[in-house]
Amino acid sequence: MILPNCVKLRYHFIMKVINEYFERLCEHGLYPTRYRVLKKNGIKYKILDEDTDQMLEVDNFCSNDVLGLAQLDEVRNAAKTAIDRFGASNSSCTFYCGRVSLHADLEESISSFKKIPHTHLFLNAWMAVQALTDTYCHLAMKLPDYSPKTRTLIMVDHMSHSCITSAATSAKLGISGQLFPRKDMVVEVKPYRHCDAENLALRLKKYASKGDRIMVMTDSVFSMEGTIAPLPEIIEVLSNYEGAVLVCDEAHSSGVIGKRGGGIYDHFTIDPNHVHERGIEPVTLTTFSKFAGSVGAAISSFNKSFTLLLDAARTSSGTASLSAPLAAAALASLQYLEQHPELVATLRWNANYLRTGLNNEGFEVEGETAILPVKIGGIPPQDFARKLLYEHGVWVSPVWYVDKPKLRIMASVLHTEQDMDTLVESLVMVRQKLA
């Protein structure tokens, strides 16, 4: 299509700003290097630096595949078989075009893993949490003769993942994707201090009004800090607010914390059913891109109507359902974890080994899980990570724009003691050079 001159001018103007901004970003060294993965074998990766065209053979310490299931034969074969049975895509949503049997099998399996009876699947965490707030705060579908006129107060741990903060803040505007929001369902959003149940109690006292529907949203394990939410204390606070909903994002806790890797309830040996019986509604978000060798997400709750309504939310009914190979890979991962609970202990052992090794060399490491955020003083994390990659063949994530500057290292069951020793030695050498 040939653009008329006036459109071209406008187009040029918009792109000029984008181009200028992008150039500045690169000049400041703020845009991440793009790497292309050419081959994977366990933690051994062959990658291409797209800026320099250089090929590198590296040990991966940045993948979230903490249990090493993404490349496991059982998981790969399950995905291949599912493609043969159902094809690569479901090509529609479940609301209008039904589910594949794998969806039901996976939902049942997650419910049993989380000990929460009803589960609904999504393409990813963002869509799941958006559906959750659309459904809970605004009721997913409008009914002409039902207008409950409610106010929901959402309390969010201020370090929560952006899928939570994004869904919570957009809930203030109404149902996602609706140009004319309904006015009868009001949503207020307030942050509380990171992992601070006392602050949550204070803020609830200050902001909750009689008749409010209360929803507390938190990561179970925080993705940039590796900290664990204080579940018992949060439950105590919420026991003063009957019917409060407690949403835990289990992205980094499933398969990682708790004796059987069940996540935050398993970690604190709290039965979600007991919490439910105390008048608090536990809702969990499970994702498959970390502990399970797949991608996708699920919301579990004790309320069947709520889980059924999730299917009517825009981020369910307005998009294709989780493809069969992804559902099969997630299901096979869950089954494998059930048969091999020792994976959880191995991961914990590796994370502790790495944390101790780093501490012994004077590195400050935050958190207490498989995520190891390492403080590196005033050294720019991009430079640190680049030197590690090019001179020592170890790949870690530099973090500078979503959080304070640090290196984010992920422990995995696939790392050997030697891999971890090499990583620590490399960090020491690079620190010496750059400090």
Ligand X SMILES: Cc1ncc(COP(=O)(O)O)c(C=O)c1O
Interface residues with ligand X (CB under 6 A)?
124-125, 161, 163, 219, 223, 249, 251-252, 287, 289, 295, 297
Closest approach of ligand X to the CB of residue 293, in Å: 12
* Spatial separation of the C-alpha atoms in residues 111 and 104, rounded to whole Å: 11
Q: Interior CA angle at 296 toward 291 and 300, to 5°?
A: 85
Q: Which is nearer to ligand X, 59 or 249 (CB)?
A: 249
Q: Which is nearer to ligand X, 95 or 126 (CB)?
A: 126
Q: Which is nearer to ligand X, 258 or 357 (CB)?
A: 258
Q: Which is nearer to ligand X, 139 or 292 (CB)?
A: 292
Q: Which is nearer to ligand X, 125 or 370 (CB)?
A: 125
Contact of 325 with 147, CB cutoff 8 Å: no
* Spatial separation of the C-alpha atoms in residues 385 and 426, rounded to whole Å: 10
Closest approach of ligand X to the CB of residue 64, in Å: 7
Three-state DSSP class for 247?
A: strand
Closest approach of ligand X to the CB of residue 158, in Å: 14
Q: Which is nearer to ligand X, 106 or 424 (CB)?
A: 106
Handedness of CA 91, 96, 97, 99 (dihedral sign): positive
Closest approach of ligand X to the CB of residue 315, in Å: 12
Q: Which is nearer to ligand X, 157 or 212 (CB)?
A: 157
* Spatial separation of the C-alpha atoms in residues 410 and 351, rounded to whole Å: 8
Strands in 281-287's sheet, in edge-to-edge order, are: 118-122, 297-301, 281-287, 245-249, 213-219, 151-157, 186-192
Closest approach of ligand X to the CB of residue 128, in Å: 8
Closest approach of ligand X to the CB of residue 272, in Å: 19
With a CB cutoff of 8 Å and minimum separation 6, the contacts of 31 are 22, 25
Strand partners, 187: 152
Contact of 18 with 2, CB cutoff 8 Å: no
Token pair 């039965």 in the structure block, residue: 271
- Tell how strand 186-192 and strand 151-157 pair up: parallel
Contact of 382 with 29, CB cutoff 8 Å: yes
Distances (CA, A) of 367 to 193, 224, 373: 16, 9, 7
Q: Which is nearer to ligand X, 212 or 225 (CB)?
A: 225
Three-state DSSP class for 170?
A: helix
Q: Which is nearer to ligand X, 151 or 194 (CB)?
A: 194
Q: Which is nearer to ligand X, 102 or 247 (CB)?
A: 247
89 CB neighbour count, 10 Å cutoff:
13
Closest approach of ligand X to the CB of residue 161, in Å: 4
Closest approach of ligand X to the CB of residue 87, in Å: 23
Contact of 14 with 28, CB cutoff 8 Å: no
- DSSP codes, 63-93: -S-TT--TT-HHHHHHHHHHHHHH-S---S-
Closest approach of ligand X to the CB of residue 283, in Å: 14
Q: Which is nearer to ligand X, 188 or 403 (CB)?
A: 403
Q: What Rg value do the Cα atoms of the chain yield, rounded?
A: 23
| Closest to 348 in 3D by CA, of 408, 291, 284, 424 | 291
- DSSP codes, 177-236: T-SS--SSSEEEEEEE-TT-HHHHHHHHHHH--TTPEEEEEEESB-TTT--B--HHHHHH
Closest approach of ligand X to the CB of residue 412, in Å: 15
Closest approach of ligand X to the CB of residue 122, in Å: 8
